Structure 1
C-alpha cells in the first residue's frame, strides 16, 4: 500500500533522500524512439533545472543521473540554511520561480508603502514559502512540471508525461548515502550507455571528475562544483556541512565499484579493495550488493538495522519494515 509523503520524509530521521521519476511514454524521456526521433536534448533540460533549483532551494545535490526514461537525484535538505533566510531573501528566491502575490510584489518594490496588516500577510506568506523551499516534493514538482510542459509542446500533445509521483528513499546513515550515490553515478555504466564514470554525460560524477581533473587541489572545498554537496574529508571535530569523505576517495570508490560490477569473477580482484572500505567498516559483499540493487531491493528506508528501527519509531511506524533490515 502506498504511504503518504509525510510518513516517508522526516528531517528528524535524516536530511538525505534518493528520488526517482520515470517517464510513462514509450517515446522515452530523453532517448530515441522506434522511428529514430531523438530526444537526447531533453536530458540537458533536466540537468539544467536540477542545478538551477539547487541555487534557489535550501537543498543540496549529492548526486544525479539523467537516463533515457528516468532520472535520479540524491538530495540533502538544509533546513538550517532556510531558517537563516530573511523575508527579503525568501521573496527573491520564490519570485525567481513564481510571480508571487500582489502584496509580495509591492513589498519588493517598496516595502515602506505597506500597512502593518499587509506586512503581516507578507510575513505569513514568506513563512509558507520558507517551508516549500526546503521541501523535496516542491523541488521534484518544479522539475517534473517544467519538463512535462516543454515535452508536451514539443510532441504536440497533452496528458500525463510522468509515470506517477516520484519514488523517495530515506538514506539513514553514511553507508546508505555513499552506496546510493555510487548506485546513481554508475547508472549509465550499468545501462551500457558509457564505459567510464567521467564519460557519462548528464551525471554528477562527470562534473565532479572534470572539476577534480582541472583543480590544483581537488579536495579543497572551494574548488568543488557549486550547487553540489561538498566532500569535506574524514569525520572530525567541528565538521562542516558536507559528505564525510574526500572527493578523491569517493571517485576511487566509484571507479572500483564500477570495475567490480563488470567482472564475472569478483573474487579475482579482492586484493585491490581500496582502504576506504576498511575506514567506513563496509563489508565488500554488502557494498557490492547495495551498489547494484539499491533501487530494486530496498523501499522507503535504507540504512543499518539500528538506523531503520530508530527512523521507523520517529516516523510512527507500527513495525519496522522487514524488507529494509540487515542492509549493512
Structure 2
C-alpha cells in the first residue's frame, strides 16, 4: 500500500528530501546494455540538462545528484522563502518557461483584464503556480515525463518507463542531510563504477570538485555550501565544502575497501560537530534508503503530527 505524498513531504517538517526514480524496463535508462550491445550513455546528459533547466525555474535547490544506469538519486531543498519573494510577473515568467501561458494570463500581462472577476481569476492561477514552483511532486513530474517521452521516442515504443512513483525520504536534521548527500555522491563508488569521487561522472560531488579546481565560488545549478550554522547565515547547506569533501572521501574509502571494523582514531570535523562516531556513520551511509523518514528519534517524533502519521518509523540516527 502506497503512502500519500502529503505524509512524506511537508516543508514545515523539513525542507530537505532524498528522491529516487528507477527505470521499469530491463533496458537501461543510461549506460551500456551488454545484451543488445546498445549504448545509452547519451541519456545521462538528458537527465543532467533537464535537471538543470527545471532547477533554474523552480524554487527547489539541488543539493546532490547521481545519475546511474537504471535509476537516479536527488537530494532537494524546498526554498519557500524564494517562492514567496517572487513577484506575480516573476511567477508567470518562470512557469511559462516550461508551460504554455493561458490567454487570460497573457491579457493580465498586457494590462487588458477589465473586470475584477478576471483579475481575481488571474491571481488565483498565479498563486497556484507559486505553490507548484516549490512542489517536489511537480519538479519530479516534469523531469520524469520529459525523460520518459524522449526514451520512448528513441526506442520507438510506448508504455511506462519508470517503475512507479518516485520514492522520497524526509531528511529531518543535519545528520540525515549529510548522510543522504554522501550516500548519493558515493553511488558510483559503491557500484565499483568509479574509484574515487572526483572520477564519478554525472554526480554532484564531481561537479563541485571541478568548480573548486576552477576557483569558482560554487558549482553552477547546485545549492551552495554556506558553512557552519551561525547568525545571519546565507542560503546554503549548513556545512563547509572542504569538510564535506573530506567526509565523502573518507566514507568512500571505508565502503570501497570493506574495512568497517577498523576505523582510524581521528575523526573528521563534520563528524565531531554532528556528534557521530565512525561506526554509526558507516551504518547510516549504507542503509540510507530504508524508511521514509530519516533523522534522530526526537526529530522523527516531532514531525509525525505535521505528516499525519502515528507510528515512529524510519531510519533513526543517534
- TM-score after normalising by structure 2: 0.96
Question: Segments of 4+ in structure 1 off by > 6 A?
Answer: none
Q: What secondary structure is seen at the aligned counterpart in 2 of 1:61? A: strand
1:297-312 aligned within 5 A: 298-312=290-304
Shift of 1:288: 0.5
Tell me whether 1:287 sits opposite 2:288 in the alignment: no
Give the equivalent residue in structure 1 for 2:159: 159
Q: What secondary structure is seen at the aligned counterpart in 2 of 1:96? A: helix
* 8 Å contact from structure 2 (residues 64, 205) kept in 1: yes
* 8 Å contact from structure 2 (residues 243, 269) kept in 1: no
Shift of 1:31: 1.8
For residues 273 and 125 of structure 1, what CA distance do their matches in structure 2 show?
52
* 8 Å contact from structure 2 (residues 260, 282) kept in 1: no
Unaligned runs of 5+ in 2: none
For residues 131 and 106 of structure 1, what CA distance do their matches in structure 2 show?
22
Give the equivalent residue in structure 1 for 2:119: 119
For residues 151 and 2 of structure 1, what CA distance do their matches in structure 2 show?
26
For residues 202 and 52 of structure 1, what CA distance do their matches in structure 2 show?
16
For residues 201 and 243 of structure 2, what CA distance do their matches in structure 1 show?
21
Q: Relative to total residues, which structure has the larger helix share, 1 or 2?
A: 1
| Deviation string, structure 1 residues 209-250 (Cα, Å, up to 9, x no partner) | 1011111xx6xxxx1023321111112112222111111111
For residues 265 and 42 of structure 2, what CA distance do their matches in structure 1 show?
42
Give the equivalent residue in structure 2 for 1:104: 105
Shift of 1:63: 0.3
Range 59-68 or range 232-241, more displaced: 232-241
Shift of 1:51: 1.4
Range 33-42 or range 173-182, more displaced: 33-42
Count of residue pairs brought into register by the alignment: 317
Range 306-315 or range 251-260, more displaced: 306-315
Give the equivalent residue in structure 1 for 2:10: 10
1:56-95 aligned within 5 A: 56-95=57-96
For residues 24 and 104 of structure 1, what CA distance do their matches in structure 2 show?
38
Shift of 1:112: 4.1
Give the equivalent residue in structure 2 for 1:50: 51
Shift of 1:272: 4.4
1:151-230 aligned within 5 A: 151-215=151-215, 223-230=217-224
RMSD: 1.4
* 8 Å contact from structure 2 (residues 65, 72) kept in 1: yes
Give the equivalent residue in structure 2 for 1:258: 252
For residues 200 and 19 of structure 1, what CA distance do their matches in structure 2 show?
19
| Deviation string, structure 1 residues 156-192 (Cα, Å, up to 9, x no partner) | 0011000000000000000000000000000011111
Shift of 1:151: 0.4
Tell me whether 1:317 sits opposite 2:309 in the alignment: yes
Give the equivalent residue in structure 1 for 2:37: 36
| Deviation string, structure 1 residues 63-103 (Cα, Å, up to 9, x no partner) | 00000000000000011111111110011001000002111
Q: What secondary structure is seen at the aligned counterpart in 1 of 2:234? A: coil
Give the equivalent residue in structure 1 for 2:142: 142
* 8 Å contact from structure 1 (residues 107, 114) kept in 2: no
Shift of 1:313: 2.6
For residues 224 and 265 of structure 1, what CA distance do their matches in structure 2 show?
33
Give the equivalent residue in structure 1 for 2:265: 271
| Deviation string, structure 1 residues 269-317 (Cα, Å, up to 9, x no partner) | 413432321122112111101111211xx21100000000111132222
For residues 258 and 292 of structure 2, what CA distance do their matches in structure 1 show?
31
Q: What secondary structure is seen at the aligned counterpart in 2 of 1:20? A: strand
